[in-house]
């Protein structure tokens, strides 16, 4: 089922990416004045390539998830295969994490090398329609190439952080330290601004994945119901389990927030706003 384009969402996403691009151009212009920092750029480029290429394995390892064969989880495999066909995607690998936290995530460097992972807590929490809504959301992330987009968007931000932390080691010596301090201050400004821009971009892409899920299943209400079920279940999960997995927030269907800072710097929009937009799509479907 096709949905009308959300031009407001696309506009906000485009503006955020433009601001990031402009910020990074200015950052590169400043760094180009300091040849001694070239080593950092090369090292970070190599690190980012490795991170991108092995993102699926690192994410699964961090979550304690393992890939499962069809014989181990036949119904889950059948559901993902059917939804993949509806999304016009190759079937991804399927993984399950032994966790009480009801959540799911997608990872992988491209559509041909992707994995959709779910937790046992999610499988116990949702009914079939809700589960399909969540799995379709993760497939929409794969279709939108969000791992690649966010890796590219984060590259120079990560570089800026490294310069702030270690840039003084690569600068001049004696009375020639001033340019190094300029580079470090510029990097700090870039890192702070890009931190919030990248999280805004991530939130917009979550909205986009929600719309994609509604398009794949033709049932936006199922994902809205799933988000409510997961959000309600989070209150019953032990705090130790939530803290242990909080570092994977960017991957999850619903983030595990930690305090005030965790909320204002969230990689996901408020769950209630996501549900509201899905209900709007549901009304559009009824009127069509």
Q: Which residues are catalytic?
A: 138
Q: 51 is written with which tokens?
A: 């991170």
CB atoms under 10 Å from CB of 273, counted, come to: 12
- 222, 127 contact by CB (below 8 A): no
How far, CA to CA in Å, does 175 sit from each of 25, 38, 172, 249, 279? Answer: 29, 21, 8, 44, 63
Output b/e per residue, 145-174; b: 16+ Cβ within 10 A.
bbbebbbebbbbbbbbbbbbeebeebbeee
Q: At what angle do helices 178-217 and 7-31 cross, to 10 degrees?
A: 160
């Amino acid at each position: 089922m096709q949905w009308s384009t959300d031009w407001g969402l696309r506009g906000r996403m485009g503006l955020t990416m433009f601001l990031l691009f402009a910020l990074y151009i200015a950052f590169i212009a400043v760094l180009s004045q300091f040849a001694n920092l070239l080593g950092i750029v090369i090292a970070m480029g190599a690190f980012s390539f490795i991170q991108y290429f092995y993102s699926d394995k690192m994410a699964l390892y961090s979550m304690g998830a393992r890939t499962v064969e069809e014989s181990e989880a036949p119904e889950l495999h059948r559901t993902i295969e059917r939804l993949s066909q509806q999304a016009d995607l190759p079937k991804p690998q399927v993984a399950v994490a032994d966790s009480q936290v009801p959540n799911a995530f997608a990872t992988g460097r491209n559509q041909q090398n992707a994995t959709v992972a779910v937790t046992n807590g999610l499988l116990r929490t949702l009914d079939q329609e809700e589960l399909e809504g969540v799995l379709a959301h993760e497939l929409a992330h794969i279709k939108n190439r969000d791992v690649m987009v966010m890796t590219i968007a984060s590259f120079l931000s990560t570089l800026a952080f490294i310069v702030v932390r270690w840039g003084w080691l690569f600068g001049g010596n004696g009375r020639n330290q001033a340019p190094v301090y300029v580079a470090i201050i510029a990097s700090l400004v870039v890192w702070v601004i890009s931190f919030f821009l990248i999280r805004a971009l991530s939130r917009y892409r979550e909205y986009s994945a929600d719309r994609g899920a509604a398009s794949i299943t033709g049932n936006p209400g199922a994902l809205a119901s799933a988000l409510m079920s997961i959000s309600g279940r989070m209150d019953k999960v032990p705090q130790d389990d939530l803290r242990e997995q909080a570092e994977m927030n960017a991957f999850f269907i619903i983030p595990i927030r930690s305090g005030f800072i965790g909320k204002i710097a969230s990689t996901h929009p408020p769950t209630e706003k996501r549900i509201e937009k899905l209900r709007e799509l549901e009304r559009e479907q009824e009127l069509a």
